[in-house]
Chains A and B, each alone.
Chain A
Amino acid sequence: MMRLFSFAIVLLAGFVAQPNDAQAHPHVSVTSTSELIYATDGSVTGIRHAWTFDDLFSAYAIQGLDTKTKGVYTREDLAPLAQVNVDSLKEFAYFTTARSGARKEKFGDPVDYFLEYKDSKLVLTFTLPLKVPAKTQELVLEVYDPTYFVAFALADKEPLKLVGAPANCKLAIQKPAESKPQQTLSEQNFLNGENANYGANFANRMTVACQ
């Protein structure tokens, strides 16, 4: 009787608390194209992103913006907004991670940033310089929001370009749909660490290997 009762309580508590476990769907979607910038010595100096926002968010972002010509949004008109964008992105580590082996590279403040308005969509372009240029055999780049507030998708065509990379560098792109592991997770293989970074499996992963 008591067991039944406490079961009912747990059920009830579950129903009440459940909605907070679920996550909201992303209200912003971004199609990402990036360039990996190399120095002449073959080290990576930074990443240049061009992020295209979805039309709903773009319309929202430019609402009420003062422009010289009505309906035309120039880079200059959008400059204050671009500033707000890069400033707020800092808090989210630019939704970008770069790993050389086990080491996580650190980024400096973004440079050369601007917004453009093309086909009713905003495109944010900015360069993330690496604090220390990375000269590694393998660099793994990920663009995603682990909280899934912003849905990042890699562009279909050439999501990453290697600019000035040594000839022996090869690029491999992994999109979430492709990288979804086929195996089922058991508690055991979850706990023994093999799948400790399970969530990262769903990230947009770009691997550059230089042999």
Chain B
Amino acid sequence: MTLRWISCRVSIVVAAIAAIALSDALVHAVVAQTPFGAPRPAASAVQQTGGIIGWLLAKQSEFYREMSGAIRAAKNDGSAVTTLLGISFLYGVFHAAGPGHGKAVISSYLVANEETARRGIVLSFASAFLQALVAVLIVGVGAVLLNVTAKTMCSTERVIEIVSYALIAAFGARLVWTKGRGFIGALQRERSGGVAGPGLVPAMSHAHRSAVAHGHSHAHHDHGHAAHDHHSHASHAHEHHHHDHAHVHDEHCGHNHGPTPDQLAGPGGWSRGLGAIVAVGLRPCSGAILVLVFALAQGLFWAGVAATFVMGLGTAITVTAIALIAVSGKGLARRLAAGREGGGVLVMRGLEFGAAGLVLLLGGGLLLGYLSAERVTCF
């Protein structure tokens, strides 16, 4: 019992460290970004200095500047289109390393949920594709069909931007709600001596119940099957997944893991992912809009459209890379936590809760203007 008490305290401390680390990173992000109105000389030092970020910025600026020349060249020389597409792709790769493009949101979302690398890739590509599509639609409908002014297009962009940020915040709030319950559930279970029981947290969702039960059943391996049976009653709706579970158990005997991917892909799984795609992908990249309008002015709108989608492809690759780092980061945390008594369930739930909070803070920060991604140009 004393040991249990110690492990309980330790996990609370670890959860607190995790929360502090997450909030520190966020505060850092908030402070580093200043709204347009408040110039901070230090900010310009960041991008002019060397290092990886300086190099990335220099590269993307270079590709961006080359884009207009490439579009001009494509007017007279068809082969220049290849150059344009090459530049667009590289621009996308480098540009996505900057703010925006949903890296933070997608990564946090992946950490908050028990997401697979495969889903991370799909989410990244789908949201990048949607971003490109929205840019093409704004310019296609606004400039080509209606011939509106830049000011009108810009206002449209702003509205879309606000909607996108509000969606991210709402999405984060929902994650905080479910993950918060999971975290509190894990806390309660830890306090009550580690005996998993559905009765303890009656309000918990099915997915969580089984997720928690799994972590547990593995940590106390000898109890594993009993716990599982215990839960089969509560998770009637997931009965068809039981076979999978059993299978995975055999495969990763002794490993701690959450619900299987297809469990998440089940009820509400992909539609929840769709929420992330829309929230992130709705907001187009200002660079793409400028390139599209320029291409249109040069009478080569189609080249602009092609460049935008290739740009999106480049963006997707970078976002995927970062999303994969986030997923494997969580995997590492899970492996480290698995050695702990109780399987580190509390730690993992705490981590997920923190990541969910990050999505909410990112959305809220962007919405209220504390954080700025790429500013929409209206001037």
Contacts and interface: CB of A to CB of B under 8 A. Distances in A.
B214 interface: no
Contacts of B290: 27, 56-57, 59-60
A200 B41 contact: yes
Interface stretch (A87-95, A107-115, A127-135, A154-162): A87-95
Given A19-B103, A92-B36, A6 B14 contact: yes
Interface of A: 1-2, 4-6, 8-17, 19-29, 54-57, 59-65, 84-85, 88-89, 91-93, 144-149, 151, 176, 180, 197-203
B40 A146 contact: yes
A60 B293 contact: yes
B22 to A, nearest CB: 5
A13 B39 contact: no
B10 interface: yes
Interface residues of B, number: 89
Contacts, number: 213
A9 B68 contact: no
Contact of B42 (A8, A21, A199): A199
Given A56-B294, A84-B151, A16 B14 contact: no
Given A13-B24, A60-B377, 16 more contacts: A1-B336, A9-B22, A12-B326, A15-B107, A16-B22, A20-B33, A22-B57, A23-B47, A23-B98, A26-B61, A56-B68, A63-B143, A64-B153, A144-B44, A176-B48, A199-B42
Contact of B322 (A19, A29, A92): A19
B327 to A, nearest CB: 10
Contacts of A19: 97-101, 103-104, 322
Contacts of B351: 9, 12
B286 interface: yes
Contacts of A16: 22, 25, 104, 107-108, 111, 326, 355, 358
Contact of A23 (B99, B149, B358): B99
Contact of B43 (A8, A29, A199): A199
A60 B150 contact: yes
A15 B43 contact: no
Contacts of A17: 25-26, 28-29, 104, 358
B379 A1 contact: no
17 contacts: A4-B336, A5-B336, A9-B21, A9-B333, A10-B21, A10-B25, A13-B358, A19-B98, A21-B29, A55-B68, A56-B67, A59-B293, A146-B39, A147-B44, A149-B36, A197-B41, A199-B41
Main SS class of interface, B: helix
Given A146-B44, A199-B41, A1 B99 contact: no
A9 B337 CA distance: 11
Contacts of A55: 68, 294
Nearest to B72: A55
B153 A63 contact: yes
Contacts of A151: 61
A59 B294 contact: yes
Given A4-B336, A57-B377, A199-B41, A15 B329 contact: yes
Interface string B1-33: 000000000100110011001101110110011
Contacts of B56: 22
Residue from B330, B374, B379 with most neighbouring chain A CB atoms (10 Å): B379
Interface in B165-210: none
A180 B48 contact: yes
Nearest to B292: A60
Contacts of B28: 17, 21
B279 interface: no
A99 to B, nearest CB: 13
A22 B97 contact: yes
B325 interface: yes
Contact of B37 (A1, A4, A22, A92): A92
Given A64-B152, A85-B379, A148 B336 contact: no
Contacts of B289: 60
Contacts of B33: 20-21
B375 interface: yes
Residue from A14, A21, A28 with most neighbouring chain B CB atoms (10 Å): A21
B43 A93 contact: no
A26 B374 CA distance: 9
